[in-house]
């Protein structure tokens, strides 16, 4: 039976998904064996290839972020490494050569137009469509043939047999699920730590052991703070377990992988809803503590007027309602991935609002944005 006791802030379990995705990180190189039956990724000995800035998260009518596309192509080449022979091995090496030079296709999401995300990637690697170009200011879309010429690498040769095998995989959904899992875990750890740092602001001289608190001290604590840490600790345990299952499916390619990806996406929507709920419940005491000089007040808070704290809480409630609507709709295939992305974006907004409310409190150490989450954030109005 998992341990339900609250986790101490800063005590994190190693992330299996992060370790797995490190194999496809920027700066890695695919080194195939002569017979392509085995291969591995090694760290590039040259200058660091980390991007200056990553685009924001994909939207319903947008494109996949470059790091997701890189994981997708790497996973597909990894799956085909032991299955191809003859002329197709030359095409495989051409794909690997482009990947080693950080060539990253622009892949629309959802795919649409009868083409899968892997099909869009294959077309870009052949010199058609668009690719990402890294500039000092960040990423920019450019014609694929121009990016290939800039990297001094040839397009992949035309091979219908290999391309037919390449586009048949589900690595796009797998890559999205893995990267969404990292966002969910980061948000879970952030909300858990915010909850732990909010308690001293609403309880005067809280003891280290909550059960020994006096009745008067208990009355000062909003109910939302009592179950939050335990529930968030249980959620983090489940997030870790789901990450282990995703990595197992990514490495072993079982016949149940498609269903496992859908279940992981459904869990991500559910987890985002829990995070949005607990973050919203903690927003009001956090805002009151800010308005009263670092100590929460049980009295009525002065009205801050239009665009004030009440609007922030109302917006958080609207985003929680949007997540619940996504859960009720349900989805399959690429729609489940899109729903997970939307839910995580809503949960991230509410979590960022909570972090911002705690940012001005002495001793909390909370910043205005959850760590390890790409994309810009606009302060809630």
Rg of the chain over CA atoms, in angstroms? 23
Q: Position of tokens 């996973």?
A: 75
First to last CA, the chain: 43
pLDDT, position 203 = 59
pLDDT, position 195 = 82
pLDDT, position 144 = 94
pLDDT single digits (tens) 76-134: 998 888 777 777 888 898 999 999 999 999 998 876 666 789 999 999 999 999 999 98
Q: Which CA distances in Å does 364 have to 34, 76, 198, 252, 373?
A: 55, 44, 8, 43, 20
Q: Position of tokens 């929507």?
A: 269
pLDDT single digits (tens) 261-297: 989 999 999 999 999 998 988 888 788 766 544 444 4
Q: Which CA distances in Å does 327 have to 15, 169, 321?
A: 26, 27, 10
The total number of residues shown for the chain amounts to 381
Sites in the chain below the pLDDT cut of 70: 1-13, 31-61, 111-114, 202-227, 289-308, 331-334, 360-381
What angle separates helix 87-100 from helix 117-125, to the nearest 10 degrees? 90
> pTM for the whole thing?
0.79
C-alpha span between 201 and 211 (Å, rounded): 18
């Amino acid at each position: 039976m998992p341990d339900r006791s609250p986790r101490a802030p800063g005590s994190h379990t190693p992330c299996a998904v992060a370790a797995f995705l490190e194999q496809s990180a920027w700066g890695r190189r695919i080194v195939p064996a002569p017979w392509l039956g085995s291969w591995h990724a090694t760290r590039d000995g040259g200058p660091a290839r980390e991007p200056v800035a990553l685009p924001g998260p994909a939207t319903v009518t947008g494109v996949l972020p470059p790091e997701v596309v890189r994981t997708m192509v790497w996973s597909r080449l990894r799956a085909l490494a032991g299955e191809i022979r003859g002329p197709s091995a030359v095409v495989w090496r051409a794909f690997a050569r482009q990947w080693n030079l950080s060539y990253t296709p622009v892949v629309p999401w959802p795919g649409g137009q009868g083409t899968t995300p892997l099909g869009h990637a294959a077309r870009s690697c052949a010199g058609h469509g668009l690719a990402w170009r890294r500039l000092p200011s960040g990423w920019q879309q450019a014609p694929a043939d121009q990016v290939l010429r800039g990297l001094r690498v040839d397009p992949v040769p035309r091979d219908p047999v290999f391309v037919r095998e390449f586009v048949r995989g589900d690595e796009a959904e797998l890559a999205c699920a893995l990267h969404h899992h990292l966002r969910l875990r980061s948000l879970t750890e952030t909300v858990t730590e915010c909850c732990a740092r909010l308690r001293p602001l609403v309880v005067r001289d809280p003891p280290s052991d909550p059960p020994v608190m006096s009745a008067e001290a208990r009355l000062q604590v909003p109910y939302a703070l009592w179950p939050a840490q335990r529930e968030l600790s249980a959620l983090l345990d489940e997030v870790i377990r789901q990450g282990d299952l995703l990595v197992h499916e990514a490495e072993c390619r079982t016949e149940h992988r498609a269903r496992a990806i859908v279940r992981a996406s459904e869990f991500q929507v559910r987890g985002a809803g829990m995070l949005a709920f607990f973050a919203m419940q903690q927003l009001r005491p956090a805002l009151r503590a800010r308005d009263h000089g670092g100590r929460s007040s049980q009295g009525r808070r002065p009205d801050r007027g239009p665009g004030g704290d009440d609007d922030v809480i109302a917006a958080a409630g609207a985003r929680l309602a949007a997540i619940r609507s996504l859960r009720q709709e349900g989805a399959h295939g690429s729609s489940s991935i899109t729903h997970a992305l939307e839910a995580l974006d809503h949960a991230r907004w509410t979590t960022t609002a909570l972090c911002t409310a705690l940012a001005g409190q002495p001793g909390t150490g909370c910043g205005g944005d959850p760590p390890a989450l790409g994309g810009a954030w606009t302060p809630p109005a």
